[in-house]
Structure 1
């Protein structure tokens, strides 16, 4: 009888281990979190990325579906990721996120960026990947790709704006700096930076496009400057003038 209990106990342990292993097997996928510093990972392989915000009701409703979908990433052969636009504003600017949630399918080694506009259901997402329905969507043009120069500039500017907002929050919350003083400081800083940038651009323009020396019209007497700074007509011109007078 005691031996029977041992066998039964071992059988139960085996079943528990089997269930755990089976569950882990089906949950091999892992949700990736994209940031401004690691987003270039999407330029390699196939990726499906969601842009969301915690305050977005549609994003909260879609969250369990996206999480369940990410658990099938290995079997689908695509990496699943998400990015919080309230934290990664620069990344949102790069991808031109204008509504939430926004889904992008990225493949062909980061040369193809397609916005998903289908239904946000698990079966529709699976068909989109398995049946390669993304091929029916026109990819974004080259100058709107997140890794293009215009979008890189847009992302950098958005990142600066986020840094300024964070700095203002620290000054007001931790150091109790009046808001009017912060605004005055920002205006002065903007003027100073604008003047400096203007001078730099003028200097660069002067080097690249130097001013051309104007040539006097034909027939105009040329003048030479002596060592003492007096302007005199050159001998050749003066001689020419005398010849004309003699005539």
Structure 2
């Protein structure tokens, strides 16, 4: 009898956990743009984070209310998706965003299920300023592409209240320069991916290939310097082509050129006249000498 009861309870608990997991959407590098449409609550977490583990129960319970609240609840594992942590500038874990129509707001309220529900239902997110455009990452609490960072209590009731009461409307959206879909945040995401790629390769060389750490560091340093030199060479070539710095052939002024040409022509004419005069004088001199000889011979 006790065994049957235990089995039934375990099945009920596993079914409940499965339902919570089923309603919770996992966001990755390929699907994060889904946050730009509709209303979302998104949590950034890591498996090694104790605070994230404490929040999981409330977050999964809040996810069970997502259909009733007409909102989508999601999570992002920053260890699997480092590019998203860079794109959203996640500096603390767990970080929760409210997103509505692409406008992001940071949730900073209580971390309880009821608080989350009240935050959405009462539109408390409208009291929070959106994330600036240059930081817009398109993820936190998102509704219609507007992101807000949730910084309230971390309980299922707090989450439900945050959505149900629309407390997210009290939070300023993420600035446009931080928007996850902005070009600058895309570049940051690529840098994060590159750093994780380099780290993985270093770990592979040291742990599996048996390469000494100093040799691995030296290799990456040499590659970095070589790429920097090649890139710098191409940049310098492009700049020299677009903005030449060498001595430019002086362009003669049209008026000055004409004056110089006129002077040259005058000199040539004067020289020609002088030559003609000299030749004429020589002819006259020769004629006079011939006449003199003729006179002498006559006499």
RMSD of equivalent CA atoms = 3.2
Structure 1 partner of 2:123:
none
Provide the rounded CA distance (Å) in 1 between the counterparts of 2:200 and 2:88.
22
Structure 2 partner of 1:97:
90
Q: Helix, strand or coil for the counterpart of 1:165?
A: helix
Structure 2 length-normalised TM? 0.63
For the pair 1:77 / 2:70, whether they are aligned, the reply is yes
Q: What displacement does 1:149 show?
A: 0.8
Q: Helix, strand or coil for the counterpart of 2:177?
A: helix
Change (3 A) 1:157 1:237: farther
1:162-195 CA distance string (max 9 Å, x none): 0111111111122111111111111110111001
Change (3 A) 1:241 1:172: farther
Provide the rounded CA distance (Å) in 1 between the counterparts of 2:147 and 2:47.
24
Structure 1 length-normalised TM? 0.75
Any unmatched runs of 5+ in structure 1? 1-15, 223-233
Q: What displacement does 1:214 show?
A: 5.7
Contact 2:62 2:157 in 1 (8 A): no
Q: What displacement does 1:209 show?
A: 3.6
For the pair 1:215 / 2:208, whether they are aligned, the reply is no
Contact 1:27 1:72 in 2 (8 A): no
Contact 2:59 2:159 in 1 (8 A): no
Provide the rounded CA distance (Å) in 2 between the counterparts of 1:83 and 1:55.
14
Change (3 A) 1:57 1:237: farther
* Residue pairs, 1:165-184, within 5 angstroms: 165-184=199-218
Count of matched residue pairs: 214
Provide the rounded CA distance (Å) in 1 between the counterparts of 2:262 and 2:206.
75
